[in-house]
């Protein structure tokens, strides 16, 4: 065994131990979160074990991948087993972030930094110790993105990528938008379609999706009322909206017709802009000063990601993929609402951390060339 290989193994072991200790510190502070949204996934997994497949997929159709994922672990070892499985998936996701960086910028000496930031990112890893679907969704994005960027896929790799897209599609509703973006990127990169046709295909699919989104009836109390109320961040279980006469289930279209009638176009544009900005906001007024202080540091990654995007501007297809993915996720929040915490924003972190690694590689390479000994 070469000394280089041995050094790498020692480094991997050290990182694994450090990551486990980091999760332990989060656990000591907040425990494992199984309340609120997590309760519906736990109940659905229990019903799935008992053979009630209809309940799980009828009530939580666009979260069914996560329910299927946690079910065997819940059956064997309960919530602890699910958290361990999610932690292991985070390690795989970190490796995929590193590999994605290498695919974009070959021989990138700082490619490992994106995966390290991901593993030791408090905003990401906090959700590893919850039974919410967000951490699973983020790790899935990391893995799917790597196979999307990978060129000349073998048949098994192509089938695995299609499987990943399908799982992503049914993990969280935003997964539908990312799946379209990833699929159209593949059509272009594999020469199945020219750039203009791939872009047109994406636009048509997204248009159909938005038409469906605006016209599918969903629960009025939990989903439509906050939108009709003009809420940017939803922080209470119900809203009183005088004049809005929605049924038990209403559509997004009904909420927006109401908003237009009550306030007009300028109000809608302003509201959209505020929601769009809120998507990128990690801090909250009701968080502790320490929590907000930690989260504020992550805005540095936004700046580095912008620098990374500039550095890969000549790789137009990848630049468009990253920008469109981030925009689609932010746009979905801008059209609906943000939550009292930042978990919706987690989905952009794989893109942010990859671009950060690219930017840091450029900066450190430039510094090395400037100050290296002759």
pLDDT at 237 over 80: no
pLDDT at 223 over 90: no
pLDDT at 139 over 60: yes
Q: Read off the pLDDT band of 2 (50, 70, 90).
A: low
Mean pLDDT in residue range 125-145: 97
Q: Is 237 within the bounds of a domain?
A: no
Supply the pLDDT for residue 155. 93
pLDDT at 346 over 70: yes
**Percentage of the chain with pLDDT > 70?**
97
Please state, in angstroms and rounded to a whole number, the distance separating the CA atoms of residues 24 and 333: 32
Please state, in angstroms and rounded to a whole number, the distance separating the CA atoms of residues 1 and 149: 32
Q: Is 252 within the bounds of a domain?
A: no
Q: Is 229 within the bounds of a domain?
A: no
Q: Cβ distance 95 to 143 under 8 Å?
A: no
Supply the pLDDT for residue 4. 67
Range of weakest confidence among 48-57, 61-70, 86-95, 190-199: 190-199
Q: Cβ distance 209 to 176 under 8 Å?
A: yes
Instruction: Phi first, then psi: give them for residue 162, nearest 5 degrees.
Output: -65, -40
Q: Is 345 within the bounds of a domain?
A: yes
Please state, in angstroms and rounded to a whole number, the distance separating the CA atoms of residues 121 and 295: 10
Supply the pLDDT for residue 242. 83
Q: Is 289 within the bounds of a domain?
A: yes
Mean pLDDT in residue range 187-191: 87
Q: Is 223 within the bounds of a domain?
A: no
- Give the mean pLDDT of the chain: 91
- Going by their DSSP bridges, the two strands 249-250 and 338-339 should be labelled as unpaired
DSSP calls for 3-54: HHHHHHHHHHHHHHHHHHHHHHHHHHHH--B-STHHHHHHHHHHHHHTT-HH
Supply the DSSP symbol for 108: -
**Tens of pLDDT, residues 284-337:** 988 899 999 999 999 999 999 999 999 999 999 999 999 999 999 999 999 999
Supply the pLDDT for residue 246. 66
pLDDT at 98 over 90: yes
> Domain of 106?
32-216+281-371
Closest CA to 349 of 326, 365, 330: 326
The pTM (predicted TM-score) of the whole model is: 0.94
Supply the pLDDT for residue 95. 96
Which secondary-structure segment (H or E) carries 218? strand 218-219
Supply the pLDDT for residue 199. 81
Q: How many domains does the chain have?
A: 1
Q: What is the length of the chain? A: 374
Q: Is 227 within the bounds of a domain?
A: no
Q: Is 61 within the bounds of a domain?
A: yes
């Amino acid at each position: 065994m070469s000394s280089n290989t041995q050094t790498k193994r020692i480094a991997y072991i050290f990182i694994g131990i450090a990551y486990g200790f980091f999760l332990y510190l989060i656990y000591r502070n907040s425990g494992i979160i199984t309340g609120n949204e997590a309760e519906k996934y736990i109940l659905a997994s229990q019903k799935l074990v008992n053979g009630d497949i209809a309940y799980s997929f009828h009530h939580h159709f666009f979260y069914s991948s996560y329910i299927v994922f946690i079910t065997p672990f819940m059956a064997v070892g309960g919530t602890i087993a699910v958290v361990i499985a999610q932690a292991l998936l985070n390690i795989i996701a970190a490796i995929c972030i590193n590999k994605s960086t290498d695919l974009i910028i070959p021989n990138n000496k700082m490619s490992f930094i994106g995966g390290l930031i991901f593993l030791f990112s408090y905003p990401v890893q906090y959700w590893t110790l919850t039974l919410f679907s967000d951490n699973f969704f983020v790790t899935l994005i990391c893995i799917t993105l790597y196979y999307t960027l990978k060129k000349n896929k073998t048949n098994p790799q192509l089938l695995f990528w299609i499987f990943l897209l399908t799982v992503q599609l049914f993990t969280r509703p935003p997964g539908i938008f990312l799946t379209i973006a990833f699929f159209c990127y593949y059509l272009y990169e594999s020469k199945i379609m020219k750039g203009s046709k791939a872009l047109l295909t994406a636009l048509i699919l997204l248009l159909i999706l938005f038409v469906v989104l605006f016209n599918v009836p969903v629960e009025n109390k939990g989903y439509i009322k906050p939108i009709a109320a003009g809420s940017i961040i939803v922080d209470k279980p119900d809203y009183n909206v005088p004049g809005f006469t929605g049924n038990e289930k209403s559509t997004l279209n009904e909420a927006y017709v109401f908003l237009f009638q009550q306030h007009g176009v300028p109000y809608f544009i302003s509201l959209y802009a505020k929601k769009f900005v809120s998507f990128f906001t990690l801090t909250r007024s009701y968080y502790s000063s320490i929590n907000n202080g930690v989260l504020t540091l992550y805005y540095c990654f936004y700046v580095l990601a912008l620098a990374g995007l500039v550095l890969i501007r000549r790789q137009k297809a990848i630049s468009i993929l990253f920008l469109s993915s981030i925009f689609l996720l932010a746009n979905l929040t801008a059209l609906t609402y943000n939550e009292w915490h930042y978990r919706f924003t987690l989905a952009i972190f794989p893109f942010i951390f990859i671009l950060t690694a690219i930017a840091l590689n450029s900066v450190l390479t430039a510094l090395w060339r400037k100050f290296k000994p002759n």
